[in-house]
Amino acid sequence: MENVFDILKERGLIAQTTHEDEIRELLGKEKVTFYIGFDPTADSLHVGHFLQMVVMRHMQNAGHRPIALVGGGTGMVGDPSGRTDMRQMMTVETINHNCECFKKQLSSIVDFSEGKAIMVNNADWLRDLNYIEFLRDIGSCFSVNEMLRAKCFQTRLEKGLSFIEFNYMLMQSYDFLQLYKNYGCKLELGGDDQWSNILGGIDLVRRKENQQVYGMTFTLLTTSDGKKMGKTAKGALWLDSEKVSPYDFYQYWRNVDDADVCRLLKMVTFVPMDEISEMETWEGAELNKAKARLAFEVTKLVHGEAEALKAKQTAEGIFGGAGSAGDMPSTELSLSELADETSLLDIMVAAKLIPSKGEGRRLITQGGVSVDDVKIAEPNQKISKESLEKGIVIKKGKKVYHKVTAK
């Protein structure tokens, strides 16, 4: 079997390793227990987490054992990595709820049956720690001078770094120590923004257990021009179908830039590399087939094959001219609250198609809005109550379709 390290490298997933040769040898000769942490900052994972879930699946497919750690303890502090401000503090109840949501979503990608993977919550060992004992036992292993050189802290020092956040590195490092002692975990994986925290854990295990463990980080999802991926007009690209419909999720990937499609096929799907290599020679209409393949494969992984097929068929119906609205994103307005005629701009704001009426006027003036295939030229266009009862389809730009009804 091919070494999973080589698979991850070929697919462009690896950013940094602490000991490249040793890690590759380790993954090639034994079943390795590794972990990735997910702090419950919301009630859904997002596309940034999804990349790491794909990595877990690659590792599991190669016979290694994942530990998915949900941060019921670290989530009460908040990771300053990649942040310009302090995270909002959450209640214990909110954190516990978010952890449960994460568990369901992780199970869609990672197989937790029959000991093939483990899910743990660091609240089990962090929430009841004795602070003085923790400082004496763990805090004494960390140099403040070294910590302040870490990138995750440096970016915050100018604007202010709270003491509670300063403790985060110690807590994440303590996670690695606990997982090594309890499960024989030898490898921590994470996004490249976690590099400093991972190094802290490796050093702590060395100091406390006199053992060598390892770390590896992964490329953050960005476009070819360096912009972070995973944002839509409505916010983050969540994995929860209640937050982002399978159709909207499909369309996000279907609409990536030509320059990004093959790289993303390598990173976030399991499409064989020889197929992707052939797609790299495609241009024009053929490249659109590659985008459709990307959208289908990612949607299938997150929402299941049935939802991926529905999203694909809806998109093909709309863009093929059939106008199928079966699984199109939709908004239902209250008929009793509508006047005989309602401003199209008000409808678009209610459907969250535009952030403001000013943006809507600009779009209409530029010819970017149609209703039921009729281009709208007048920003003050009204829509009758009768039309809304039947349902209208608003097209924004070239690729955004939304059905609006009133009942």
Nearest to residue 88, comparing CAs of 156, 41, 40?
A: 41
Nearest to residue 107, comparing CAs of 311, 293, 309, 304?
A: 304
> CA 217 to CA 16: how far, in whole Å?
5
For the domain spanning 330-406, the CATH number is 3.10.290.10
Coil, strand, or helix at residue 343? strand
The domain limits of the chain are: 4-218, 231-319, 330-406
Question: What's the pLDDT at 181?
Answer: 97
Question: What's the pLDDT at 323?
Answer: 45
- Residues with Cβ < 8 Å from 266, sequence gap 6 or more? 10, 11, 12, 13, 273, 276
Question: What's the pLDDT at 322?
Answer: 44
Nearest to residue 88, comparing CAs of 78, 100, 101, 80?
A: 78
Q: Candidates 1.10.10.60, 3.40.50.620, 3.30.1370.100, 3.10.310.30; correct CATH number of 4-218?
A: 3.40.50.620
> CA 216 to CA 222: how far, in whole Å?
19
DSSP state, residue 182: H
Phi, psi at 335, each rounded to 5° = -60, -35
pTM check: above 0.85: no
Question: What's the pLDDT at 80?
Answer: 52
Cα–chain-centroid distance for residue 90? 20
For the domain spanning 231-319, the CATH number is 1.10.240.10
H helical segments located in 216-353: 246-254, 261-268, 273-279, 285-303, 305-319, 344-350
Q: For residue 34, give Cα distances in angstroms to 58, 210, 363.
A: 12, 18, 49
pLDDT averaged over 10-residue windows placed end to end, the chain, 407 residues: 92 96 96 94 89 95 95 74 56 84 89 90 91 92 83 70 81 95 96 90 96 95 80 76 90 89 96 95 88 95 93 76 59 81 88 87 88 82 82 81 83
Longest dimension (CA), the chain: 76
Question: What's the pLDDT at 42?
Answer: 86
